[in-house]
């Protein structure tokens, strides 16, 4: 197992010396205790605890984040008469950085005359890159092994927060500047897409800790999180924990990817289902300009030994329209991750794994049980 010091809420907590840290229809239990009227940042609804138990588990899925300790790769590379522009390796921040990183990639082709272009990969990076290329006047074909429903992007939990993207000790100021730029561009783009059509909505988020908090350390884009504030026990319903509140966007990956796919096709884009065995097959495409948005596939296709899988495991529960907030931390995140709860419109998602270097696809039953049990304990203080 490979270990890295990557930027996540969990590693941030350690650096501060603190402890571990869907709403159209639903299957909520008939009766639930509602807590007192604690201050809500942007909602007038009462606090409601999600119904969490092993009996309620619908499905458990595994996905792999494409992680590079040195950060995502956006770079132009020449292979004889072919131009390849790379856009991959975003770790756990791919969904959040989709538009911004893709804007960096498309900028690499700003000196070229628009014509036919290939995008390899149909996850969030491939779709955002393709749409931006169309806006710039290119005729785009997406070559992909899997349609969006089977991509890593569709397995994302879905919160706007560019975390778990790099190892702090292995990046320089230039990368951090690009990360900041990509985060801001992407945030701006998503704010233009809020609503049910793209599956994006504003939501309160609570980072939960066992000890008092230090200074905010999200990065240079702290100002993009609104209604931020630190709460002590008694100012929130999460028992004797300390909480950092913010408001950010919750993203339903399936809805977003489906709509971006439709937008791409309506703008004249086409898909070709194709699996590439090696770089030679990629370079054999008829287009002379190729955008490489293959995520983990880039490790083999373009010989990138720095690209590693970071295994994640998500537990799906029935949707619950009463839950209108997200949580991070608040219990035992295990050795390889941190707890998180997202109430999407289609399901309530529980997570808690970031296993770097683990490319296994099997569901780990003991991790499922830990994730469910720790989240169940987290909400016991609601009554």
Per-domain residue ranges of the chain: 9-67+202-249+309-382, 69-161+253-305
Whether domain 9-67+202-249+309-382 has CATH 3.30.9.10: the reply is: yes
With a pLDDT cut of 70, the percent of the chain lying above it is 87
Using 50, 70 and 90 to split pLDDT, how confident is the model at 218?
Answer: low
Q: What is the predicted pLDDT for the residue at 4?
A: 43
Q: What is the pLDDT of residues 14-68, one digit of tens each?
A: 333 333 332 333 344 444 444 556 878 887 788 899 999 999 999 999 999 999 9
* pTM of the model as a whole: 0.88
Q: What CATH number does the domain located at 69-161+253-305 have?
A: 3.40.50.720
Q: In angstroms, what CA-CA distances link 112 with 20, 117, 134? A: 49, 11, 14
Cα three-residue angle 74-198-8, rounded to 5 degrees = 50
Using 50, 70 and 90 to split pLDDT, how confident is the model at 368?
Answer: very high
Q: What is the pLDDT of residues 272-282, one digit of tens each?
A: 999 999 999 99
Q: What is the predicted pLDDT for the residue at 360?
A: 96
Q: What is the pLDDT of residues 153-180, one digit of tens each?
A: 556 778 999 989 999 999 999 999 999 9
Strands 82-88 and 289-292: parallel
> Strand order in 270-273's β-sheet?
73-79, 82-88, 289-292, 116-120, 139-144, 270-273
């Amino acid at each position: 197992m490979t270990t890295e010091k990557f930027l996540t809420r969990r590693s941030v907590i350690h650096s501060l010396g603190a402890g571990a840290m869907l709403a159209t229809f639903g299957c909520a239990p008939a009766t639930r205790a509602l807590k007192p009227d604690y201050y809500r940042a942007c909602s007038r609804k009462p606090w409601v605890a999600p119904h969490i138990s092993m009996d309620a588990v619908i499905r458990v899925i595994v996905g792999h984040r494409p992680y590079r300790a040195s950060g995502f790769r956006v770079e132009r590379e020449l292979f004889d008469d072919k131009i390849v522009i790379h856009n991959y390796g975003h770790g756990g921040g791919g969904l959040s950085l989709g538009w911004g990183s893709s804007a960096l990639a498309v900028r690499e082709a700003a000196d070229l005359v628009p014509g036919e272009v290939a995008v390899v990969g149909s996850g969030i990076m491939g779709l955002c890159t393709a749409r931006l290329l169309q806006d710039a006047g290119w005729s785009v074909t997406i070559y992909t092994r899997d349609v969006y429903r089977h991509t890593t992007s569709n397995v994302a939990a879905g919160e706007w927060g560019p975390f778990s993207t790099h190892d702090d000790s292995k990046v320089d100021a230039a990368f951090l500047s690009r990360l900041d730029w990509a985060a801001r561009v992407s945030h701006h783009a998503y704010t233009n897409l809020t609503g049910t059509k793209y599956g994006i909505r504003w939501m309160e988020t609570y980072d939960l800790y066992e000890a008092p908090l230090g200074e905010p350390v999200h990065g240079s884009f702290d100002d993009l999180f609104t209604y931020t504030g630190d709460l002590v026990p008694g100012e929130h319903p999460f028992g004797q924990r300390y909480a950092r509140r913010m408001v950010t966007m919750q993203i339903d990956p399936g809805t977003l990817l489906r709509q971006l796919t439709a937008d791409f096709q309506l703008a004249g884009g086409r898909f070709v289902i194709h699996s590439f065995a090696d770089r030679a097959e990629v370079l054999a495409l008829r287009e002379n300009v190729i955008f490489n948005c293959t995520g983990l596939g880039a490790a083999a296709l373009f010989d990138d030994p720095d690209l590693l899988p970071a295994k994640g495991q998500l537990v799906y529960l029935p949707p619950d329209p009463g839950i209108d907030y997200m949580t991070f931390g608040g219990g035992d995140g295990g050795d390889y991750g941190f707890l998180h709860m997202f109430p999407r419109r289609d399901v309530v998602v529980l997570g808690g794994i970031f296993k770097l270097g683990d490319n296994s696809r099997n569901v780990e039953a003991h991790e499922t049980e830990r994730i469910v049990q720790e989240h169940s304990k987290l909400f016991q203080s609601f009554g």
